[in-house]
Amino acid sequence: MPVNRTTSAPELLLALARDGAVPLRAQLEAQVREAVGSGRLPAGMRLPSSRALAAELGVSRGVVVEAYGQLVAEGYLAVRRGSAPVVAAVAERRPQPVPGAREAAPRYDLRPGTPDLALFPRRAWAAAQRRALAEALDADLGYPDPAGHPALRTALAEYLGRVRGVDADPSRIVVCGGVAEVLALVARVLRARGAVRLAVETPSHHATRALLTHHGMQLVAIGVDEDGIDVAALAAADVDAVLVTPAHQFPTGVVLSAARRAALAAWARRTGALVIEDDYDAEYRYDRQPVGAVQGLAPEHVVHAHSVSKTLAPGLRLGWAVLPSHMAAEVAAEKRLSDLGTPVLEQLTLAAFLARGELDRHLRQTRPLYRRRREALLRELPELPAAGSPAGLHVLVGLPDGRAEADVVAAAAANGVAVEPLGPHGMPGTGGPALILGYSRLPEAALAEAARRLRAAIAR
């Protein structure tokens, strides 16, 4: 079908005053000059025909013809016979890009935080996206259910029950923009109930602690040992809730023992306190199958929070909470007040992705890869003791006596290696100097070289 040159022309942000103080032609000329000079109308852009623009502005065609003629004479526009005018290549002031906050990428980045984004299954995701868009109803494109689209909540309930042992009824799932939003919503619900004392593991992620404090929580530090969080200390702390990472504690990497898991669930049932379970990278376990979620032991006392940030990519901003029945409506109401709901097409894409078994397939491909990368890194660091279980996308390694974290971080950076110190994630007196090393983003050969450079930095 031939293109309709009138109807396909761009709309222009032009407004003409009808008070007679300035002629309409002069107003039109001035506004086009400003738009071209500012870069709002870039060189090469085709403008509406004189007839189309006259109709759009409600003026005679002659006004537009005269204005166009003057702008052509001044060099702002160019015309060819029988065609609408285009913006000429005059000097223009384009909007400046936002000043970059990104630092120069280090040659070898061993900081934790993301999976290997180059492994994102683009083809499978695009296929799920096409399927979701083709099958979406017109009604799906309206304002979403704040709790999440029913298709995704149903798919998540099936997946979490099968893979994580979660007691997940779709009616108790709220889809969010990652675990960070889950924590923010739950914190606001707790605060509204008057429950503000929240226990956190020590050490734990400093950004998570800052988020919870920002939303009104009073944090109480509870120590972590080789069996996970100290539940006896938790029971003596008089708190309303606790945030735990039981499948792979951040940053120590320990797994909450079976006895502690049972004790944690019993404490929640006995006291009525809430357990918030951050299951952030639980699918990645390399020595044996992942342990089930704590939520399965006490569904009415545990919020199970998870996302695709570590399995697929954090840029998707897709996460969810499986909530006790007494909290689901309140959290959904907070979600509605926050942003009216998570984008629907992304939800439908993830639902199709899960339904076709693509996440299972992706995990089968990436688990052995990440296991080999972890082994390649630690093989070159035999003198640094590794804490925790073989799992996840990071490992905590201790530093030799007499080595300060800040000195090692600086020396490694000078050697082209970026590492993360334990210090910001801990609290005074919580263990000796250590580094949190992420191994997910580099191939094995690069990890081996990064480890050798890190050893040299420590030796210096």
Q: What single DSSP character describes residue 328?
A: H
Q: What is the DSSP string of 352-365?
A: HHHHTTHHHHHHHH
Domains of the chain by residue range? 1-99, 108-113+360-459, 120-356
Domain 1-99 has CATH 3.30.70.330: no
C-alpha–C-alpha distance, residues 419 and 405, integer Å: 10
Length reported for the chain? 460
- For domain 108-113+360-459, give the fold: Aspartate Aminotransferase, domain 1 (3.90.1150)
Do residues 92 and 418 touch, judged by C-beta distance below 8 A? no
Q: What is the pLDDT tens value at each position of the chain, 460 positions in all?
A: 333 333 456 778 888 888 888 899 999 999 999 888 888 888 888 999 889 899 889 999 999 999 999 999 888 999 887 788 999 986 555 556 666 656 678 899 999 999 999 999 999 999 999 999 999 999 999 999 999 999 999 999 999 999 999 999 999 999 999 999 999 999 999 999 999 999 999 999 999 999 999 999 999 999 999 999 999 999 999 999 999 999 999 999 999 999 999 999 999 999 999 999 999 999 999 987 778 999 999 999 999 999 999 999 999 999 999 999 999 999 999 999 999 999 999 999 999 999 999 999 999 999 999 999 999 999 999 999 999 999 999 999 999 988 999 999 999 999 999 999 999 998 655 568 999 999 999 999 999 999 999 999 999 8
Phi and psi at residue 332, to the nearest 5°: -65, -40
C-alpha–C-alpha distance, residues 28 and 22, integer Å: 10
The total of other beta-carbon atoms located within 10 Å of residue 162's CB is 11
Q: What's the pTM value of the predicted model, to 2 decimals?
A: 0.83
Domain 120-356 has CATH 3.40.640.10: yes
Do residues 367 and 232 touch, judged by C-beta distance below 8 A? no
